[in-house]
Amino acid sequence: MSNETSNVAFLKTNQATEAEAIVIGSILQDGDLLSTCILEPNDFMDPRNKTIFEALRQMEEAQEPIELPSLIMALDKSLDLIGFDYLTDAIESVLTTGSFGFYVDKVRELSKEREARRLATAFTHDELTIDELLHQLTVLELGKQVGESQTMKDIMTDMFRDLSTEKGLVTGIQTGFNELDLMLDGFKPGELIVIGARPAMGKTAVTLNFGKNIAERTVGVSLFNYEMGTLQVGRRLFASISNIQTKNLSNGSRMSPEHWDKFAAHASQAAALPMNIHKATGMTTRMIRQAIIQDRKRFEREYGTTEHIVLIDYLQLITSAIQTNSDNQRVAQISRDLKVMAQQLDVPIILLSQLSRGVEQRQDKRPVMSDLRDSGAVEQDADVVMMLYRDEYYHPETEDRNTVDIIVTKQREGATGTVKLLFQKEFGKILSYEDPAYV
């Protein structure tokens, strides 16, 4: 270790012990401060301060008075190791308890730095994988949110300011389907939106149409597909734009002069969309996170947009960073990672998910939230859950043909219900009933 590194470590140690002593002294001066303190015993570096704080927390739980005489009794034999003078010096070092919050934050900050260094060391010694390291660092960083609060006065001020800001009728990113946008208030940053569907319900078509409509509003779209290559996804996307069937776009010999005219008419429109399509096979949530950050920089640089949305097709195919034989545990970890990612990157994440085969065993095939495969954690993490249903698939003679129902079964901050859209299956195209493009 260099002299400079040693000096930095020494200064950090001094900062920690001094800040910790001031926190302890402030609490002994004003016992009510303990109830507002977000620290835990492990946040203290000095063993003496850790022992004292543990005793203070035990006294708090036992509803004993938080003062020096009762602390001395609570410490019992530990006082011999700490020393009575250490306690009195800690009290006398505090000129005012008004800076208590500052020193609490300092102790917490230094504690996090020590833990981050410990995790980094464990990683260098192959005791942690890179995914485990990043997950632990994320959990450590989120700890800063513990204890954050606002008074109702502050909240009402923020609410009034927000309401006074000029906005459109829909707050979030618009899907291009008016009835759905009004129900959801658009897709909002930080949300995890789950779309569940059985095979052949049109989940990829719905996702691609969401992406197309959103990108047309100059919002960056990152699309991760675990089943198809980028060219396959591109064909399906362009089919919905150009009204050329995918089978024709996959073979030039099937392209008629009319098809080529349509291709030429829409190619520039498609090429201009701020969309990045990822062949996601083998990608973990950590890799998705890195790709999102890279896409965001690209969209801002090339398109001048900071608005961004992520679409992932689909949950059960995402590669897990944890080793487990339990699908529930694997899906729960992935779901939690994506929810945290949405919040940290401040981006809506639309996540497709398979539904269990139980749907097929029921007389009523309309899916419900419990049909999500390995659904417990997904239901909990999702801000919005939508299900897709096509009656025509189960009842070919139904009058309700060429449609897809989007059933909103969960919404944290809004209503639930069903939105019916038109589905041009031959082009993979989804339209609103009032859309003049429907032919």
Model-level pTM?
0.65
CA dihedral 299, 305, 307, 308 (to 10 degrees): -10
Task: State the pairing for strand pair 349-354/192-197.
Answer: parallel
Provide the pLDDT for residue 142: 56
Provide the pLDDT for residue 27: 93
Q: Please, what is the average pLDDT of the chain?
A: 84
8 pLDDT above the threshold of 70: no
Reported as a single tens digit per residue, the pLDDT across 104-137 is: 999 988 998 998 999 999 889 888 788 778 867 7
Average pLDDT estimate for 179-183:
90
Distance (Å, rounded) from C-alpha 136 to C-alpha 123? 11
Distance (Å, rounded) from C-alpha 411 to C-alpha 187? 11
Sign of CA dihedral 390, 391, 394, 396: negative
- Residue 326, token pair as written in the block: 């339990």
Sign of CA dihedral 19, 25, 28, 30: negative
432 within 8 A of 421, measured Cβ to Cβ: yes
Beta-bridge partner residues of 17: none
**% residues pLDDT > 70 (the chain):** 89
Give all domains of the chain, ordered by start, each with its CATH number.
3-145 (1.10.860.10), 178-431 (3.40.50.300)
Query: DSSP letter string over 368-396?
Result: -GGGBTTHHHHHHH-SEEEEEE-HHHH-T
Task: State the pairing for strand pair 308-313/349-354.
Answer: parallel
Average pLDDT estimate for 237-259:
87
Provide the pLDDT for residue 150: 65
Residue 422: enclosing H or E segment and its boundaries?
A: strand 417-424
20 within 8 A of 46, measured Cβ to Cβ: yes
22 — pLDDT class (breaks 50, 70, 90)? very high
Reported as a single tens digit per residue, the pLDDT across 133-172 is: 886 777 676 554 434 556 667 777 877 777 776 666 788 8
370 within 8 A of 332, measured Cβ to Cβ: no
Average pLDDT estimate for 409-419:
88
Residue 349: enclosing H or E segment and its boundaries?
A: strand 349-354
Average pLDDT estimate for 222-245:
88
Residue 221: CB atoms within 10 Å: 27
Distance (Å, rounded) from C-alpha 405 to C-alpha 366? 9
Distance (Å, rounded) from C-alpha 343 to C-alpha 345? 6
Instruction: Read off φ and ψ for residue 57, nearest 5 degrees.
Output: -65, -40
DSSP symbol at 319: P
Distance (Å, rounded) from C-alpha 240 to C-alpha 242? 6
69 within 8 A of 88, measured Cβ to Cβ: no
Reported as a single tens digit per residue, the pLDDT across 27-43 is: 999 988 988 788 888 89
360 pLDDT above the threshold of 60: yes
Taking CA atoms, 343 is separated from 89, 131, 340, in Å, by 44, 18, 5
Provide the pLDDT for residue 95: 87
Provide the pLDDT for residue 436: 56
Reported as a single tens digit per residue, the pLDDT across 279-289 is: 888 888 888 88
